A and B are shown apart, each in its own frame.
Chain A
Amino acid sequence: NAGVTQTPKFRVLKTGQSMTLLCAQDMNHEYMYWYRQDPGMGLRLIHYSVGEGTTAKGEVPDGYNVSRLKKQNFLLGLESAAPSQTSVYFCASSYEGLAGNEQFFGPGTRLTVL
């Protein structure tokens, strides 16, 4: 099993450009999450999904959109990138049900917006 994979690993954008980050998991998890990690701020939840076709906002959703058309995939879009979106982005997934289920993380995507 590959677990959680993220594409691409690195990306450099110019201000105003758009891009989509892809997250895929092969563990048949219901829940999926997108976080951003910035120095000194830990990980902050951008958007999450509790099942195919559903999405919800997290702590820092502005400037991002997501889609969960297939259970195994969770896409994060930046429509018009800004330098403030320079960050490392992590995708995670977990089983549904009781809280306390472990979230499994991907290796991250390092995004720089110039």
Chain B
Amino acid sequence: AQSVTQLGSHVSVSEGALVLLRCNYSSSVPPYLFWYVQYPNQGLQLLLKYTSAATLVKGINGFEAEFKKSETSFHLTKPSAHMSDAAEYFCAVTSRGGGNKLTFGTGTQLKVEL
């Protein structure tokens, strides 16, 4: 079985400040990890993914995430928040076989304030 835990259902940052969204995973086999973003009333869009290549993964819109096996973490960061980053962010995990099924975390709502 695999699962992800997202700490903090709501995170608020000031524009220009560091964004840090936390994700910890549990998996008995090597995981593949994803971050998706959901803007209001829209579907999910892939930000970045880890598939066992480089542990530091760069994604769209200036986001990046680092896979740390020792900490079972895959936290999402962005050096400087922009108002347009306000959205809900989901961490997800899958593994080899079984139809590429994703298990999602419960999501973190990011608010960016002036």
Contacts and interface: CB of A to CB of B under 8 A. Distances in A.
- Please determine whether chains A and B interact with each other in the same assembly: yes
Given A4-B43, A43-B104, A94-B100, 20 more contacts: A33-B101, A35-B104, A42-B107, A45-B102, A48-B101, A50-B99, A59-B103, A90-B44, A98-B51, A98-B96, A99-B51, A100-B49, A100-B52, A100-B100, A102-B49, A106-B43, A107-B42, A107-B43, A108-B42, A108-B43
B32 A42 contact: no
Given A105-B44, A107-B42, A99 B106 contact: no
Size bracket of the A interface: 20 to 34
A48 B34 CA distance: 19
Contacts of B101: 33, 45, 48, 58
A84 interface: no
Interface of B: 9, 32, 34, 36, 41-46, 49, 51-52, 90, 94-97, 99-107
A42 B100 contact: no
A105 B34 CA distance: 14
Contacts, number: 67
Contact of B43 (A31, A90, A96): A90
A23 to B, nearest CB: 11
A43 B102 CA distance: 9
B73 to A, nearest CB: 18
